[in-house]
């Protein structure tokens, strides 16, 4: 899952070296933290958050077999 999300985000940004994707797994939830360069944050979020929403949907579909909740957070949250 981490490779798929990193690939998608890397295709969207200009500074590909700044892309970092970390995953924290608990018993019933998974938190995916996506960090990019500050100037690329708008590209990842998209207009009205549509790209961010799509990334969240993809993450949920990749982990759906484990029946865990998935949270995708962007930036230093």
Distance CA 5, CA 30 (A): 14
* pTM of the predicted model over 0.75: yes
Task: Give the three-class secondary structure for 1.
Answer: coil
pLDDT at 13 over 90: yes
What is the pLDDT at residue 32? 93
Residue 76 binned pLDDT confidence (cut-offs 50, 70, 90): low
Model pLDDT for residues 34-65, shown as the tens digit of each residue: 999 999 999 999 999 999 999 999 998 888 77
Report the chain's mean pLDDT, rounded to a whole number.
90
Residue 26 binned pLDDT confidence (cut-offs 50, 70, 90): confident
Distance CA 48, CA 77 (A): 19
Angle at 56 between CA 54 and CA 60, to 5 degrees: 115
Task: Spell out the domains of the chain, with CATH numbers in brackets.
Answer: 2-74 (3.30.300.20)
């Amino acid at each position: 899952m981490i490779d798929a999300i990193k690939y998608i985000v890397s295709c969207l940004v200009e500074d590909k070296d700044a892309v970092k994707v970390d995953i924290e797994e608990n018993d019933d939830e998974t938190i995916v933290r996506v960090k990019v360069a500050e100037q690329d944050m708008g590209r990842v979020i998209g207009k009205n958050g549509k790209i961010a929403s799509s990334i969240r949907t993809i993450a949920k579909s990749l982990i759906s077999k484990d029946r865990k909740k998935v949270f995708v957070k962007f930036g230093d949250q």
